A and B are shown apart, each in its own frame.
Chain A
Amino acid sequence: EDQVTQSPEALRLQEGESSSLNCSYTVSGLRGLFWYRQDPGKGPEFLFTLYSAGEEKEKERLKATLTKKESFLHITAPKPEDSATYLCAVQRGNPAGANSKLTFGKGITLSVRP
């Protein structure tokens, strides 16, 4: 059974205070690791896909990294508008070629104070 654990559950930062969100995973045959952002009352918004250990991707103040056991979402100099729940998900490779399901973590609720 694929497992995704995100920590901490909640994080409160002061504007400009950089930090990292952790996603630990167990999956047989990782096809991809995904980061999503979810605002209250909305569906998740796609941020990044990471395919192999050592890969890094950046978007504005966010940088995602991947190792064989975990992924980090680094937030540099966050702003109040970065406040949201950040979800991590893994997708297992499916030999049949079908789009196998995403297994999500419970999410990390980030609050950035001005």
Chain B
Amino acid sequence: KAGVTQTPRYLIKTRGQQVTLSCSPISGHRSVSWYQQTPGQGLQFLFEYFSETQRNKGNFPGRFSGRQFSNSRSEMNVSTLELGDSALYLCASSLTSLSYEQYFGPGTRLTVT
């Protein structure tokens, strides 16, 4: 069974640009969550989508947004990139919105210059 896949794996952007990251959950999983991981702050929750609806949102500015498609694939968008947005962005999927266990993808390493 294929795991969570994320594309691209690495990305370099310039301050002020925008970026879109993609996540394909494990087949059959309907909940997708996004996290930002930095050395200083660790893993921080961005948002969670289930059945194309945002169910939970973390404490990030409105520049961070996401969506989920009918096939459960999800995208995350960051507009007006700042240097501090450089991080590993992780996507996690779970079977349903009530599932206890989340399975993570390998992440997208975003560098903002």
B26 to chain A, nearest CB (A): 12
Q: Evaluate contact between B101 and A46: CB separation under 8 angstroms.
A: yes
B99 at interface (Cβ–Cβ under 8 A)? yes
Shortest CB–CB separation between residue B45 and chain A, in angstroms?
Answer: 4
Of the stretches A19-27, A54-62, A66-74, A95-103, the one at the interface is A95-103
CB closest chain-A residue, reference B96:
A99
Which of A32, A101, A105 contacts B33, CB < 8 Å?
A101
CB-CB under 8 A from B55, the residues of chain A are 96, 98-99
Complex CA gap A101/B50 in Å reads 13
User: Per-residue CB proximity of B77-111 to A under 8 Å, as 1/0?
Assistant: 00000000000001010101111111111110000
**Interface size range of chain B in the complex:** 20 to 34
**Assuming the A-B contacts A43-B4, A44-B90, are A98 and B97 also in contact, with contact meaning beta carbons closer than 8 angstroms in the complex?**
yes
**Docked pose: A102 CA to B97 CA in angstroms:** 13
What is the CA–CA distance of A105 and B42 in the complex, to the nearest angstrom? 7
Tell me which of A44, A49, A99 contacts B48 (CB under 8 A): A99
In the bound complex, how far is the Cα of B31 from the Cα of A22, in angstroms? 29
Interface residues on A, range: 20 to 34
Question: Chain A residues near B102 (CB, 8 Å)?
Answer: 34, 46, 102
Q: Is A17 an interface residue (CB 8 A)?
A: no
Q: B104 near A44 (CB under 8 angstroms)?
A: yes
A43-B90, A87-B43, A104-B42 known; A98-B56 Cβ under 8 A: yes
Contact with B along A83-114 (1 / 0, CB 8 A): 00001010100101111111111110000000
Does B58 count as interface, using CB distance less than 8 angstroms?
yes
- Contact call A46/B103, Cβ cutoff below 8 A: yes
Complex interface residues of chain B between 38 and 60 (CB less than 8 A to chain A): 42-45, 48, 50, 55-56, 58
Is there an interface contact between B101 and A101, defined as CB atoms closer than 8 Å?
no
B→A interface (CB under 8 Å)? 4, 31, 33, 35, 42-45, 48, 50, 55-56, 58, 90, 92, 94, 96-107
A residues apposed to B, CB below 8 Å: 31-32, 34, 36, 41-46, 49, 51, 87, 89, 91, 94, 96-107
